[in-house]
Amino acid sequence: MPLIRSERRLNLFNLQPVQILAIGFATVILMGAILLKLPIATRQGISTPFLDCLFTATSAVCVTGLAVVDTGTYWSTFGQIVIMLLIQIGGLGFMTFASFFAVLLGKKISLKERLVMQEAYNSFNIQGMVKLMFYVIGITFSIEGVGAVLLATQFIPEYGLKKGIYYSIFHAVSAFCNAGFDLIGDFRSLTPYVDNTVITLTIGGLIVVGGLGFIVITELINTRTLKRLTLHTKVVLLTTGFLILAGTILFFIFEYNNPKTMGGLGLKGKILASLFASITPRTAGFNTIPLDTMTNSGKFLTIILMFIGASPGSTGGGIKTTTAMLIFLTVIAVIHGREDTELFKKRFGKNLVYKAFSIVTISMTLITAVVMILSVTEAATPIEIVYEAVSAFGTVGLTLGLTTRLTTIGKIIIVFTMYIGRVGPLTFALAIAHRQLNAKNSIRYPEDKIIVG
């Protein structure tokens, strides 16, 4: 009966799946902000300004990592656990948890709820949504568990058994969900462990796996040969591998002799630092070298990687790897005079290409608007503002130090940007416009030409 009433209410308001997702994330953020507002959430036992609570909750649910107060020293254990739970819910999606508990209570998952889950996972079809949900939860906890065990080998000797285990679990969840929150303190992130192989590779590995997307992870586990992988999975793996490798090489070149970042490290440390600097903008928010002292080339490369982000249906943000690859392939096709966008002897549909260009256009328009507003409200350099805006949109969490200096208007703008970045720019636009992407237009006007380029 409760599910029937719930479905009737959804039909009453005629909410589309994309609208339910947008409202659901906003509801979780508000609940998290209320919990962080409680005096028990801070170490000093004081009530935090609501805007700071809203900013932190948004950053956690949107798995961003931007923080106006230091997570490790400002929030109490209660507050940190709230943040960790918000990260987990935000990473997996609120609908995953809602459906999971509904099934445990013996309730059936309605068609409307399956459609919302399909939208959240970026799945091609609606079949097997409940099975996929359990698979996603099992994979997530298993990978986070392995990550926590590996991190414990480093944190327990340093912090003791209880605190070491707690730190290991928190950072494993934060890394796999691409959140970037840390408990090291004083906004240092992972800089004390720049040449620690275990921590660098474990956190980096969790970020990469979390950013692949649950559909891809599931397929990799269940498929034994590479030839049987779907085109989507091949594109994700190809783009992810290329970005990590190219980023590592470029960061190594840009920061090799920079005494304020990697100049004083040995060869191993420089390789680890370069690798991590290439991985974390996709979209984790941890850093092992100081960001504000990087070369301008390194900062600009980071902005590009943050804008691209992770893959569809993952815990990360950005325009997504598949979108970037599709745009690139389309440009190549136009240059070569080909009508179709192709890869691996497969052709991409025009609607898919239109969607990719729409995502990039909406994203760039949003970032431009945010940069213009912050340029008026914030006392910061242009690169700091662009860096902050792209980091918020890509739900990355990296900053050149502007986050803690944001004005009230600046915080509100960044909160809004993080929210859109997590929900997805096209999803948000569709939710506002009350339209489905595949809606057909019954009217076709005569074709004509204009001069472009």
Residues 56-84 pLDDT 10s: 999 988 888 888 999 999 999 999 999 99
- Name the residue with higher pLDDT: 119 or 31: 31
Beta-bridge partners for 342: 347
Beta-bridge partners for 343: 346
194-227: pLDDT as tens digits? 999 999 999 999 999 988 888 888 888 888 777 7
Contact (Cβ atoms closer than 8 angstroms) between residue 292 and residue 153: no
pLDDT of 432:
47
Quote helix, strand, coil % in the chain, to nearest 5. Answer: 65, 0, 30
Residue 107 maps to a domain: yes
Residue 47 maps to a domain: yes
324-360: pLDDT as tens digits? 999 999 999 888 888 888 888 888 888 888 888 888 9
28-49: pLDDT as tens digits? 889 999 999 999 999 999 999 9
H/E element holding 347? strand 346-348
Residue 452 maps to a domain: no
Most confident of 3-17, 116-130, 272-286, 364-378: 364-378
Name the token pair of 36. Answer: 């962080």
* Distance separating alpha carbons of residues 7 and 20, to the nearest angstrom: 12
Residue 438 maps to a domain: no
363-403: pLDDT as tens digits? 999 999 999 999 999 999 999 999 999 999 988 889 998 99
Residue 103 maps to a domain: yes
H-type alpha helices, 122-213: 129-159, 161-176, 197-210
Q: What is the pTM of this model?
A: 0.85
**Across the chain, how many H-helices and E-strands are there?**
19, 2
Residue 8 maps to a domain: yes
How many CA atoms, within 13 angstroms, populate the side-chain half-sphere of residue 292? 12
Q: Angle at CA 91, nearest 5°, toward 89 and 95?
A: 55
Residue 84 maps to a domain: yes
Mean pLDDT score across all residues of the chain: 83
Q: How much of the chain, in percent, has pLDDT values that exceed 70? A: 80
Q: Angle at CA 294, nearest 5°, toward 246 and 291?
A: 95
pLDDT of 277:
94
Look at the chain and report how many structural domains it folds into.
1
Residue 440 maps to a domain: no
The stretch 266-289 carries a mean pLDDT of 91
Q: Long-range pairs for 164-170 at CB < 8 Å and ≥24 separation?
A: 166/77, 169/84, 169/144, 170/80, 170/84
- Name the residue with higher pLDDT: 120 or 284: 284
* Domain housing 267: 2-433
